[in-house]
């Protein structure tokens, strides 16, 4: 049970991180490789802030979400929109968007490494204190409870919004056929900014909660999390909320079992192994939608 709880907690962190990235990729067609650095940079800004002013956890989460939102919107407005203006065909611009995201990630990583000297940082100055509860033979902390509630609550909200809200339906329409959606009055540029803002806020929230959970993270933590999130998205299916939930949990459970039974050095191998197996038998992922091409 302890292993299962730890696996679900890790899966919830993967879910928070990968949810926005998956929705953006599956709807507006943006694969943002700066997502990992946004996640890390949000936690770093919160770390330097809490050194000056002691803040509770809820304030740290709001700060991290705000920083992540601003970074993602700036990445979309200054890099991805510039690329799309020069090359309106999304399929042809896809590789340029990937390279642009890697470039933005490199800048954020270099800044973080410069100021932190690649030394791990945490929120020991925060007013929040970790408490562990015992339920029979099971131990669970208040940080884990916050992570679980935040991850599944936000995933449920995202699923409802995409399925029922007018703006969510418009975003899904862009993912199916952007040309027809544009003719129906959907503003792709505005929806793209909103999607990237939400994705950045989720990444920032995940960065704050991971730092509380582990005690500290390093400037390079975002890169390793990006690999795991990419694996979870491929497993579940691009753009599917339930797919990200299932993919994150499967990946986290597999990695936790490997770490506890074998060695932590095999964790990345498991992620790439799962990607290979899923792409071999289910090219679109477990819940991936079929692609429709119209002439």
Q: Terminus-to-terminus CA distance in the chain, angstroms?
A: 53
Predicted local confidence at residue 135, as pLDDT: 80
8 A C-beta contact, residue 290 and residue 250:
no
8 A C-beta contact, residue 205 and residue 68:
yes
The per-residue pLDDT for range 261-288, each reduced to its tens digit, is 776 667 777 767 777 877 788 777 788 6
> What residue spans define the domains of the chain?
2-220
Q: For the chain, which ranges sit under pLDDT 50?
A: 292-295
Which CA distances in Å does 92 have to 13, 80, 99? Answer: 33, 13, 13
| Alpha helices per DSSP H over 117-240 | 142-164, 166-176, 178-183, 188-214, 221-236
To which residue do tokens 């990444």 refer?
203
Total-model pTM: 0.90
């Amino acid at each position: 049970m302890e292993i299962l709880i730890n696996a679900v907690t890790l899966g919830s962190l993967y879910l928070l991180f990968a949810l926005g990235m998956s929705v953006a990729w599956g709807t507006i067609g943006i694969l943002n490789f700066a997502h990992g650095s946004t996640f890390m940079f949000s936690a770093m800004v919160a770390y330097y802030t809490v050194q000056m002013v002691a803040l509770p956890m809820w304030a740290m989460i709001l700060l991290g979400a705000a920083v992540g939102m601003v970074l993602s919107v700036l990445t979309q407005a200054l890099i991805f929109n510039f690329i799309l203006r020069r090359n309106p065909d999304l399929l042809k611009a896809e590789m340029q968007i990937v390279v642009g995201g890697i470039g933005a990630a490199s800048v954020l990583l270099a800044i973080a490494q410069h100021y932190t000297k690649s030394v791990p940082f945490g929120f020991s100055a925060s007013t929040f204190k970790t408490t562990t509860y015992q339920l029979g033979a099971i131990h669970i902390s208040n940080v884990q409870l916050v992570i679980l509630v935040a991850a599944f609550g936000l995933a449920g909200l995202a699923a409802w919004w995409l399925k029922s809200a007018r703006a969510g339906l418009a975003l899904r329409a862009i993912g199916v056929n952007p040309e027809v959606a544009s003719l129906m009055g959907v503003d792709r540029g505005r929806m793209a900014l909103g999607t990237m803002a939400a994705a950045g806020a989720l990444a920032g929230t995940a960065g704050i909660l991971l730092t509380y959970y582990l005690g500290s993270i390093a400037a390079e933590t975002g890169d390793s999390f990006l690999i795991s999130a990419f694996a979870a998205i491929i497993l579940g299916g691009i753009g599917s909320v339930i797919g990200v939930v299932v993919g994150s949990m499967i990946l986290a459970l597999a990695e936790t079992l490997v770490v506890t039974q074998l060695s932590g050095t095999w964790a990345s191998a498991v992620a790439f192994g799962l990607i290979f197996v899923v792409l071999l038998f289910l090219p679109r992922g477990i819940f991936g939608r079929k692609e429709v091409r119209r002439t």
